[in-house]
Structure 1
Amino acid sequence: MNKEVRFTRNVYVILIAILVLAGIIQIARSEYVLKFKQNSDLLEQRDILLTAAKKEDKSFITGAPYCILYSSGYEYSRLMKNNAQKMLQYMQKPVHEVDINNEAFDPKGCQTVVIALETLPDSLDVDSLVDYVHNGGYVFVMSALEANHQYQLLYRKLGVTSFGDPFLTTGIKLTSNVLIGESNLVMKDDFIANSSNAVELDSSAQLLAETNEGTPLLWKHEYGQGAFMMFNGTMLTEKINRGIIAGAISLLEPDFIYPVFNSKLFYIDDFPSPIKKGIEPAIYEAYQRDIPTFFKDIWWPDMLKAAKNYGVKYTTGLIQTYHDEVEPPFQYPIDEDRYGLITFGREVIKSGGEIGLHGYNHQSLQTSKKIADYYGYNPWGDRTNMERSIKEVIDFTSRSFPSYKLMSYIPPSNVLGPEGRQALKAAWPDLTVISSLYNEDTEGRAYVQEFEIADDGVLEMPRVTSGYFERAYDRWAEANTVTSHGFFSHFFHPDDVLDKERSNFLTWKELYEQYTQNLNRLQRTYPWLRAVTSTDGALDMGRTLISSVNWKKDKNSIAGEIHNFQGHDLYYILRTDRKITKQVNCTVKKIDTHTFLVTAHQSKFAIGLGG
């Protein structure tokens, strides 16, 4: 055959192959392929979970109760009691409340005694409490105590050698890993404030935390065969500090184990959404791009790179329009950006993330004019219009992703009224999880959540921290929530970059550097946390919540039998100073000093202990 002809044919073959490959790549990137991206299996998992939730039976949890002493006549005592009770419920421990005003208390039969009082009343038999600890019991005192005659009988057993008047203390330094992974953490900010007693400790007391000025704040003192844990402050009424409660109890008792969610979540609110047109001078000077091109060419590639480098999956909250209409018609607003939804949404999914819903627009689903005025929003007139807007944004999404199910909702400005909550459920059958805020809102505007399965079947899974850069309050909230729940949940907005105050007057380069530094610290401190999306994390949370474990301990092992086990791994934190000798139907991984993550693979599992 002529060499020239053979060469020409080979060239054509190569060109055809290149064209075919280019066509395949183009098809793979086209809207057509989006039709084949499905996540309906998550809806099936949700329905299985909700069916199993009806079989939840906490009576399966056996063992002696955790007895909480409190005084119903004092709000401070009630708040402490409520906080301890909620934490113990999450830890799946049986709880028995004792109102010291109305009933006598005998510590016999209690696994641990939690004292949610600031004054030990005359009715409390201190001698019986001392005998209880001496014979192997455990007592956690949640508050600095008034130095009355009852305290005079007890203080030496608490590990105190001398004491003085109470005074205001600020900040905290952890001299232990009472918060997992955070030994030596120092918080100097004034949001940590206590009324503490001036005390000196016995050399046998184990100091776990102190104030910035060096006043002992948390310590453990062994007495006889048992031990006291003492918190010398007044901040354990607050939800943000539940990690201290969990850490203190888990370090008080030997070989303590409790369930956690083991999840790490990142939310991007207002994304995908219509992007503001025009030029931001600082951005144009740095990148020679207008605002939409900056987000497409710089911000989003940076965010994807950070996710890949540090093990992050994004859950985004899309918005169809920024118009503020709360009256129909809602269809086809002039600023909707279907191309942006397809372009960014495809990459969210491709990176392992999830597209969730923030709203048709950014008007929070609530009817209070007072709350709307605070945010500069319009209040909705009725539930019907809310439902219409929700259906429209779901239709808008389905036109671009026909087989993709929206399942996660993020309330705009973390505000959601009861009518809005009802509208979501009525208009959106696939709604699976709502993620708003965990920490208290003293103004009463935010939709504040606990981790729970609501009566209507929606999974309530709050978020904890926010922003591209670290704030002291967020760092403290993070450390407490990881210790109490094995849970990290963080959110931010693309346009934080454009707001001088929300960006802390930093450039995107500086913000991104701080963001990646925080991701690096998070990965170093909690490498065991699993990166998950909102719906996946909520389903795992639900499986943990509906389960319960019957624990059996002997001198060489801990055995667990899980009720309502759904065939998915469940996770537990084990605090022990003993060696792990065997792992039966579970995996045990050291995550900190004397702290382990236990992954149960079957309903019955066991951990061997030695040394």
Structure 2
Amino acid sequence: MDDFPLPSYNVERVIINGKKITDDEYYYKVWWPSIKNFAEKYDIKYTFVTPLSYNGSSNPPFEFTEFFISKTNSPYKAMREIDNSDFELGLHGYNHNSLTQDRWPNLENIVLSLNETKEFLSKILGHPILISSYVAPNNLIDEYGAKYLLKAIPTIKSIGTAYEGTDDFSEYRITDNFVLIIPRSTYGYYPLKRIYANTINTLANFGGFQHFIHPDDVFSTDRNPENKTWDQMYSNLETFYNMIRKKFPWLRNQTASEAYPYYFDYLTQEFKYTFNNNNLKIIISNSSLLPKYFMIKSKVNIRKITGGKIIHYYRDNNLFILEMNKNIVNIEFMKGGNNEN
């Protein structure tokens, strides 16, 4: 969840049932309850990344007065609510100013601003906070920004980057301090064909995907070009998620920090396989995480498996989803036919 909790400025922004309401009312009395309801209905744990302010400054003093402009103190209340839930809290920058060298000429100010951010969060939550997830504002971060981000917050384990990166740094990779650079997979509410296609592509390559939305999507001309209502966008989100649950019932929902070790394992561990006389053997190292999952394409049925089990089968595609529970799995196929593994 990008940009939440976020400051609200008590200005009229959205029309609900023919009536204009303020940004504060929309974010915290319409969007926030809907998103919590969605999480409860579908058993989802979110990772929220907060920007805290939008002042755009890259020079001290680094302050957070915007966070308390709301007449209802709603941003603070939502922050405390997230902290006391199964959701996860991460960062979207100090003030939504991208951590790039051109925007922060004095790179040490990145450290100062993020240190102030940690201290501010600890004060309003009443305890020290461990931050492991960072999503780049405006999808932009460079090697300098990442270096100083980790200098300020060494507990960061994942950095979310652009949907479609134009540089190598935005691609799936492991950088300093074993930090994962993870491009955002999918976003938004429509068109559903685009979202679904991007999801399938990411699943086929990495076995998982991340979907991003924002509380201000409804009045963003870029993200809501058809000017849909929030009810319509919420309905689209439900349609998308129901499609995913129906087509991929084997997927597990995780927060960003929970997913980290699995992405890290995927990018660092190797496996070997042999295929002889209708028998497929897959071997992974003893240090690999278990269970591990493989897609196996075969026109021939499986007769016997040791060390794992089939958790789903796509008959139209001759595709098996294998859950590997031991470091060596043996799969015996029925005799005859050709296999693609």
Q: Secondary structure at the match of 1:459?
A: strand
Task: Tell me the amino acid that sits aligned with residue 357 of structure 1.
Answer: L
Whole-angstrom CA distance in 2 between matches of 1:403 and 1:571: 36
Aligned to 2:89: 355
Q: 1:463 aligns with which of 175, 181, 184?
A: 184
> 2:34 is matched by which residue type in structure 1?
D
What residue in structure 1 maps to residue 23 of structure 2? 291
Deviation at 1:584, TM superposition (A): 1.9
**C-alpha displacement at 1:459, in angstroms?**
1.4
Q: Which runs of at least 4 in structure 1 moved beyond 6 Å after TM superposition?
A: none
Instruction: Indicate which of 333, 356, 366 corresponds to 2:100.
Output: 366
Residues 469 and 388 from structure 1, CA distance in 2 versus in 1: closer, same or farther, beyond 3 angstroms?
same
Compute the displacement of 1:357 (Å): 0.6
- How far apart are 1:341 and its partner, in Å? 5.2
Which residue pairs with 1:264 in the alignment?
none
2:33 maps to: 301
Tell me what 1:490 maps to.
Answer: 211
Summarize the alignment of residues 11-90 of structure 1 with structure 2, pairs less than 5 Å apart.
Answer: none
Give CA-to-partner distance per residue, 1:444-489, whole Å, 9 cap, x none: 6x96222x32244211222112112225444332222112222221
Matched residue, 2:272: 550
Greater relative contact order structure (CA < 8 Å, 6+ sep):
1
Kept in 2: contact 1:465–1:490 (CA 8 A)? yes
2:307 alignment partner AA = N
Deviation readout 1:35-86 (Å, 9 max, x if unpaired): xxxxxxxxxxxxxxxxxxxxxxxxxxxxxxxxxxxxxxxxxxxxxxxxxxxx
Q: 2:5 aligns with which of 258, 272, 284?
A: 272
Matches within 5 A, 1:339-418: 340=74, 343-348=77-82, 352-368=86-102, 379-399=103-123, 400=125, 402-418=127-143
The one-letter code matched in structure 2 to 1:381 is P
After TM superposition, give the deviation of residue 277 of structure 1 in Å.
1.6
Q: Which residue type is aligned with residue 332 of structure 2?
A: G
Distance of 2:14 and 2:184 partners within structure 1: 33
Q: How far apart in 1 are the matches of 2:92 and 2:237? A: 23
Q: Report percent identity of matched pairs.
A: 26
Displacement of 1:564 in angstroms is: 4.5
Q: Does 1:423 align with 2:148?
A: yes
1: CA distance between counterparts of 2:81 and 2:332?
Answer: 45
User: Aligned-pair RMSD on alpha carbons?
Assistant: 2.4
**Amino acid across the alignment from 1:310:** Y
Which residue number in structure 1 is paired with residue 338 of structure 2? Answer: none
- Which digits, 9 at most, give the CA deviation of each residue in 1:199-226, with x for residues without a partner? xxxxxxxxxxxxxxxxxxxxxxxxxxxx
Q: Aligned to 1:326, what secondary structure does the other structure show?
A: coil
**TM-score in terms of structure 2 length:** 0.87
How many residue pairs get aligned? The number is 328
1:502 and 2:223 are equivalent in the alignment: yes
Residue of structure 2 equivalent to 1:321: 53
Distance 2:289 2:196 in 1: 34
Unaligned runs of 5+ in 1: 1-267, 369-378
Deviation at 1:403, TM superposition (A): 4.5
Check if 1:592 corresponds to 2:314. yes
> How many angstroms apart in 2 are the aligned matches of 1:401 and 1:461?
31
Q: Does 1:439 align with 2:172?
A: no
Contact preservation (8 Å) 1:565, 1:603: no
Q: CA deviation at 1:358?
A: 0.4
Cα 1:320–1:577 shift into 2, 3 Å: same
Letter in 2 for 1:321: S
Residues 3-24 of structure 1 show CA distances to partners (whole Å, capped at 9, x for unaligned) of xxxxxxxxxxxxxxxxxxxxxx
Is the Cα–Cα contact under 8 Å of residues 304 and 351 in structure 1 kept in the other structure? Answer: no
Preserved CA contact (<8 Å) 2:9 2:23 = yes
Contact 1:313–1:351 (Cα < 8 Å) also in 2: no
CA distance, structure 2, for counterparts of residue 433 and residue 583 of structure 1: 35
User: What amino acid maps onto 1:280 in structure 2?
Assistant: R
Alignment partners' CA distance in 2, 1:306 and 1:578:
40
How far did residue 534 of structure 1 move? 0.9
| 1:334 alignment partner AA | T
For residue 596 of structure 1, what is the amino acid of its counterpart? F
Cα distance, 1:406–1:496 mapped onto 2, change above 3 Å: same
Moved more, 554-563 or 523-532: 554-563
Shift of 1:271: 0.6
**Under a length normalisation based on structure 1, what TM-score does the superposition of the two structures give?**
0.50
Query: 1:376-426: per-residue Cα shift (whole Å, max 9, x none)?
Result: xxx222110111111111222222152441100100011012221111111
Helix, strand or coil at the partner of 2:96: coil
